[in-house]
Chains A and B, each alone.
Chain A
Amino acid sequence: MCETTSTPKFATGDRAILPEGASTIPIYVMGKMYEVPETLTIMKAMEFAGFRFLRGAGCRGGICGACPTVFRKAGDYKLHYGLACQTVVEPNMYLAQIPFFPANRASYDIEEMSGLADAIHALYPELFRCVSCNLCTKACPMDVDVLGYISALKQGNIEKAARLSFDCIQCGLCASRCMGEIPQYHIAQLARRVFARYIQPQAEHLKSRVTEIEAGKYDQMLDEMSGMSKDDLEKTYVDREREPDMVEPGSWMPQDRQYL
């Protein structure tokens, strides 16, 4: 995941520089104390301290799930969880990154499944090892009701599971805490796929658009454009009809409607 270098004298890349007079706080990364500027995220603070993320960091925007952190605060028995790229450091937090947690993913062909939960139960029989301890929900940095969607799947309710797990970013903290050794986040992903493929109503307009595309409705236009010189293409782009900003919804229509 990371390696330490000596404390930086110069800012490199997006590494934080300590402004003159800024106050620092002590944090403990894997048991070792570092003085880091307050107000930084855990990820920035670790980089400030000299760690370099080769893995365990991705989007830095709270959406890829690569950077889960587990931490405790001095004198508090409770475990806390967060995303390193989103969670701000606190004085005397004891933290470790859990960038990956092993969890088996079943292989399946979505086209051979159905909208019934039996297939999900067969692929992940460990689902029934759940004892409703709720440690998964407590561990989720996205506040997903993990026990709720696991329960929904045991009840055969794929739609409920898909909706409850929608915010999951697959960080794996739920699986790291599960006493039933369940790979929750993989099961939730399967539930969302089954929901989208077999249960959710299909969008009719999308279907008809795909049919049009497949029938070649746009081929000629695309061929013309790909044959253009760079200058002509730029001109076409600049001259294109464009919906004005802040226009009243539904009040604007392009002149050229042949592809609508």
Chain B
Amino acid sequence: MKISYYPGCTLKTKANNLEKAAVASLEALGIEVEEIDRWNCCGAVYSLTADDLIHHVGPVRNLIRAKEMGADKLVTLCSMCYNTLARANQLMKDDEVKRDTINRFMDDEIDYSGEVEVVHYLTYLQEQVGWDKLREQVKVPLTGLKVGTYYGCTLQRPAEVGIEPMGSYTQMTGLLEALGATVVPFNAADKCCGSYQVLGAAPGENSAASAILNSAAGAGIEALATSCPLCEYNLGKQQQQMLEKQAIEQGVPTFYFSQLLAVALGIDPELCRFELNDGQSLELLKSKNYLAAA
């Protein structure tokens, strides 16, 4: 099996831990990953202004790259890239007038009308590999690890592109349970992490993030799994400061779901790039003895 893959800028820099672990996992599962050629920024945030079409040009250009490569599916990982690409794709499929304007503006490219399907990595794993098959491949079961699934906003909103309905977390739950972990629900699972609001807040004073961590800790969760670099930044990278400011009582190590997948598949921890997580994340895995085999 071979997939066309769109990485995204952040996954090549600050969130390389999300990407490296995910790509290594697919390869371990026998799936060849082909990064699309000449990709550019996804646009990061889907523009909601009705007549602001220029901000759709970036995501559409990436979809055209995938179409040129003959891909019918484009798999992506980062929640924000997924959201922006999927919504731009939907616009090109559904809105004849805007599609025409965008295609005319991009007179250096072939025309596009939503031929490629944008698929999130989790959905791809569920549909193409399946949780039962994945369970058979697990080398280091994450037995005894209590994980909270934290989807963040952009994986589920709006409903037209959400990987599953709001309030439902079956894909990440299916994955984590296949890896042997115990998924524990918590009240703030569907709350926003504070997103870009963090830019205006002093370090460690993003109350949206601390509320989520407190809710998770209160439910007895030991680790949070996410697929969004901005959520990870707000929940993971800010934790030490939240602890210092006593905004949270205890830390909850955060991971990209792909890192937990890679660990369970027995992949070299180097590829998980834990140095990009908050230090307690690696400590937790060590204390649970999940890295001993590698």
Contacts and interface: CB of A to CB of B under 8 A. Distances in A.
A132 B108 contact: no
A99 B108 CA distance: 26
Interface stretch (A32-40, A60-68, A148-156): A148-156
A127 B55 CA distance: 15
Nearest to A118: B13
Contacts of B61: 132, 134
A175 B41 CA distance: 19
Nearest to A151: B40
B38 A131 contact: no
A132 B13 contact: no
A15 interface: no
Nearest to A155: B12
A157 B12 contact: yes
B54 A131 contact: yes
Interface string B88-127: 0000000000000000011010000000000000000000
A138 interface: yes
Contact of A154 (B9, B38, B108): B9
A148 B7 CA distance: 15
Interface residues of B, number: 17
Nearest to A145: B38
Nearest to A132: B58
Contacts of B54: 131, 133, 179
Tell me whether chain A's interface is mostly helix, strand or loop, or mixed.
Answer: loop
A132 B57 CA distance: 7
A154 B57 contact: no
Contacts of A131: 43, 54-55, 57-58
Given A117-B13, A154-B9, A157-B12, A133 B57 contact: yes
A134 B13 contact: no
B169 interface: no
A194 interface: no
B163 to A, nearest CB: 25
Contacts of A130: 40-41, 58
Contact of B13 (A147, A148, A151, A155): A155
B46 interface: no
Contact of B40 (A147, A156, A179): A147
A253 to B, nearest CB: 47
Nearest to A133: B57
A123 to B, nearest CB: 16
B39 interface: yes
17 contacts: A117-B13, A130-B40, A130-B41, A131-B43, A131-B55, A131-B57, A132-B41, A133-B54, A133-B105, A134-B106, A137-B108, A147-B40, A148-B38, A148-B40, A151-B9, A151-B38, A151-B39
Interface of A: 117, 130-134, 137-138, 145, 147-148, 151, 154-157, 179
